[in-house]
Chain A
Amino acid sequence: MAELDHDDAGLSFDLSEEHDGTPLVTVEGELDMITAPELDSAVGPILARQPSRLVIDASRLEFADSSAIALLVTWANRVPEIEIRQPPELLRRVIARMGLSDRLQVRP
């Protein structure tokens, strides 16, 4: 498990695992074109292990722009199943507005 804080960039994230071993990425703060590359670099090794599922806990995400969406779409393409857990309303709306609801599974 690795924990990295990037408060100065407006985003902190935590990489862990669910009970069944599913990788869990917890993001907090602002995910935008400035912070997205760092998160992508950190998650890269997890995706390289080709997990069958990836869970993103977005319950404490405060902002997400199109770069954030691009990042999620990229991840979604690399795992059979991606779950965005408890996204805030703004992320839910952006995903819907961009026509990506089928690509990015949002629960609940």
Chain B
Amino acid sequence: MADANEGVRASDVAPRARQWPYWAAVAVAVVGLLVTGVLTWVSAHNYHRNENRLLALRAHDLGSALTSALPGIQTDLASAAALADATGGNVAKFNTFVAPYAGTGRQFVSISLWRLGGPDRTPVAVAGVTPTLPTSSVSTPALFQHAAASGKLTVIGFLTGPIPRIGYAFTGMSKGPFAVYAESVLPPSRYAPPQKGAAFTDLNYALYLGASTNPRNLLIASVRHLPLPGRHATVKVPFGDTVLTTTVAARGTLTGSLPQRLPWAIAIGGVLLTILATALTVRLIERRRATERLAGELEVAADENRRLYAEQRGIAQTLQHALLPASLPQFPGLQISARYEAGAEGVEIGGDWYDVIELGDGRLLLVVGDVSGKGLPAATAMATLRFAIHAYAVEGDDPATFLPKLSGLISVYEDKQLATVLCAVIDPRSRQVTLTSAGHLPPLIIAGAETRFLDTPVGLPVGVDRAAAYASVTVSAPPGATFLAYTDGLVERRGETIEVGLERLRAEVSSNHVPLDQLLGRVLDDLRHDAPDDTAIAGIRWLS
């Protein structure tokens, strides 16, 4: 009997411990941003390293260019000094020689010839404008002595005046007796925009006299305002007895626009991909949660279904048992037992039944029947037939007499139902068994080591023909014999003939020597697992 409480109630299902569901999306976002950051940093780092390298190379190139350009200044002055030495200070020849270089707008604004050890502030000859040297604080004897001693171009920075000038002193290779002194002007604002088409137009530069980049030492710059914008490189080149310090900065990118933009492209692309991946993850998580919710609801619905199923099964069983005999009569010297089992899908009540009726003359009538179909129509027909048989039997009709009358109660043509019925009139004392079958399967008899089906003449099922004739057969049961009648639910299986099921039943019964009640239970347990159809089985055993 099914237990209506075996279904699990929805409220019994413990709520699952839930984690915050979006941690995976956060992890995706964090990993995506980390990867983007690292890639961006690497590409930016590479870009800057390459830019610095290229800038250093360009600065080096610029230094080389300056180094090769500077001797030009020196050569002119050296040649003039050598000429003066050779001509004994011939002023006319000196003036003629330096004329192309001296004057406003030329390389030097002023070139003058001085005698070493001569008057302090008076040159021998002057080409171009008057030098500012004599009016400066510079000691001319010391200057020319230094120039003679070093043998190099001596550079005097930033002579004061309305327009700043730079002075150059050179004594020539013979070191006397003459020295040449020249002055050049710097651009008024020290600003000299690079000429188009010239080399190094990709660079800004600032040129300082001396080793320091102090703005006071600025000679010339390609920008109006210092410091130079952007990344810097510095190169120093020798210039006479001092150095020129050049600071350069790239005007734009040196490695090209792609490497410059790559870090940005990686950063933007990475962030976009991260957002996309995070959004996708969130969507997947939400979809999974929705699925889980749905599964939960289905589970609750399934639980409810199971509960309803169990309840309905319980109702069906209760009703079925109400339609079956509440108790079986007792006879001295006999064990009588019967069972009913609903089908595996036993939500509906069935049409199988058993009955044991006292006939009043010491005999009993054992009935097992099966109405085709299921549900209320089958159960109603079953109850009708069971109680009708009861009435006819008590009236004294034997089965061959009352079986045709039953076809007046149910009709296969009207109700689409027929019934198979096996009647066994049993005399406990004489052990005579009279069998009458309306389309029913043969009963079994177990006598000692022998178990066999009893050959029974089979008449039409009930409900087919009210004029059907039924033949009976009487057999004698040996002492201690067991008689079993059953319905086809016990032996009928899809995919095999009924003979296979009958043989299975015969083998099962032969191997079980237990009290009758236990025998019926075992037979049902062993042969009926998952059988779809309902089953009735009834048995009688002579104790001696």
Binding site for B on A (CB under 8 A): 30, 33, 36-37, 40, 62-63, 65-67, 69-71, 73-74, 77, 89-90, 93-94, 97-100, 103
Contacts and interface: CB of A to CB of B under 8 A. Distances in A.
Interface in B477-510: 488, 492, 494-499
A71 to B, nearest CB: 7
**B interface: dominant SS:** loop
Contacts of B458: 97-99
A30 B412 contact: no
A93 B498 contact: yes
B497 A90 contact: yes
A73 B488 contact: no
Contacts of A98: 420, 439-440, 458, 460-461
Nearest to A72: B412
Given A69-B372, A74-B412, A74-B416, A100 B498 contact: no
Nearest to B489: A65
Nearest to A34: B374
B529 to A, nearest CB: 19
B324 interface: no
27 contacts: A33-B374, A40-B416, A65-B372, A65-B488, A69-B461, A70-B372, A70-B373, A70-B417, A70-B463, A73-B418, A73-B461, A73-B464, A74-B416, A77-B412, A77-B413, A89-B497, A90-B496, A90-B497, A93-B497, A97-B498, A98-B439, A98-B458, A98-B460, A98-B461, A99-B437, A99-B438, A100-B439
Contacts of B499: 93
Contacts of A94: 498
A99 B413 CA distance: 17
A37 B494 CA distance: 19
Nearest to A68: B372
B459 interface: yes
Contacts of B370: 66
Contacts of A30: 494
Given A71-B416, A74-B412, 15 more contacts: A30-B494, A33-B372, A66-B372, A70-B372, A73-B418, A73-B464, A77-B412, A89-B497, A90-B496, A97-B458, A98-B439, A98-B440, A100-B461, A100-B464, A103-B464
Contacts of A73: 412, 418, 461, 464
Contacts of A66: 370, 372-373, 418, 420, 461, 488
A99 B416 contact: no
A1 B461 CA distance: 34
Contacts, number: 76
B432 to A, nearest CB: 23
Interface residues on B, range: 20 to 34
Interface string B179-199: 000000000000000000000
Nearest to B457: A99
Nearest to A78: B413
B533 interface: yes
A98 B459 CA distance: 7
B441 interface: yes
B459 A99 contact: yes
A27 to B, nearest CB: 15
A37 to B, nearest CB: 8
Interface in B398-431: 412-413, 416-418, 420
Nearest to A89: B497
Nearest to A63: B494
B372 A99 contact: no
Given A62-B495, A73-B412, A98-B461, A67 B372 contact: yes
B418 A69 contact: yes
A99 B459 CA distance: 5
B460 A103 contact: yes
A79 B497 CA distance: 28
B506 to A, nearest CB: 15
A90 B488 CA distance: 13
Contacts of B420: 66, 98
A69 B412 CA distance: 10
Contacts of B440: 98
A28 B439 CA distance: 25
Nearest to B438: A99
A77 B440 CA distance: 21
B496 to A, nearest CB: 7
A98 B497 CA distance: 14
A60 to B, nearest CB: 14
A77 B498 CA distance: 26
A67 B373 contact: yes
Contacts of B463: 70
Nearest to B532: A32
Contacts of B413: 74, 77
Shortest beta-carbon contacts, A-B, top 5: A98-B439, A99-B458, A66-B372, A90-B497, A70-B418
Given A90-B497, A93-B497, A70 B439 contact: no
A65 B495 CA distance: 12
Contacts of B460: 98-100, 103
